[in-house]
Amino acid sequence: MLDSRTADEGAAIRRRRECQSCGRRFTTAETAVLSVTKRSGVSEPFSRAKVINGVRKACQGRPVSDDDLALLAQRVEDAVRATGAAEVPAGEVGVAILGPLRDLDEVAYLRFASVYRSFDSLEDFEAEIALLRTEASLAATDSTSPDPDSTSDFATAKDSASADVDA
């Protein structure tokens, strides 16, 4: 092997090789195949297009662009590949969709989650909405609370003033 480089955003490895017997050079491309096992037991290759099509239905009528959907599908694939498994259950793909979709659009998230988690009643929706509200209020509290590791300007000015008095 003469050279090895990543290709297709890290999804493949391109290798430059040389034949040992004749000296001719050639290129090979190696890809890791990621398979998804459906509930029926059938296994098929992971498809970003299927992720996008499924999420697009939940995003219908929402301000979500095709670029947003492509980025979401990339995030889902990265998360699934990060498990290190060559074959993953379809349920794990669904779970991997939920987080990025919630960040993208909460209404689309509720639509997708209602189908994925088989919401049966209004209470299921209410519970999920309550969870979203709780997480949003916790996030807002975290972003407005002072960082305990940093000192405020007031504390710094007070400390320097007391140092002047002590001197």
Can you give the pLDDT at residue 141?
Answer: 83
Tell which residue, 110, 146, 103, has the closest CA to residue 126. 110
Question: What is d(CA 114, CA 108) in angstroms, rounded to the nearest whole number?
Answer: 10
How many Å separate Cα 53 from the centre of its chain? 17
HEC string for 116-156: HCCCCCHHHHHHHHHHHHHHHHHHHHHHHCCCCCCCCHHHH
What is the crossing angle of helices 122-144 and 106-116, to 10°? 140
Share in percent of the chain as helix, strand, coil (round to 5): 55, 15, 30
pLDDT by residue (tens digit) across 133-146? 888 888 888 766 55
Mean pLDDT of the chain: 81
> What is the pairing mode between strands 87-89 and 35-37?
parallel
Sequential pLDDT tens for the chain (167 residues): 677 777 666 667 888 888 889 989 888 887 778 889 998 989 999 999 999 999 999 999 999 999 999 999 999 998 998 888 889 998 899 889 999 999 999 999 999 999 888 889 999 999 999 988 888 888 888 766 555 554 444 344 444 443 444 44
Can you give the pLDDT at residue 43?
Answer: 92
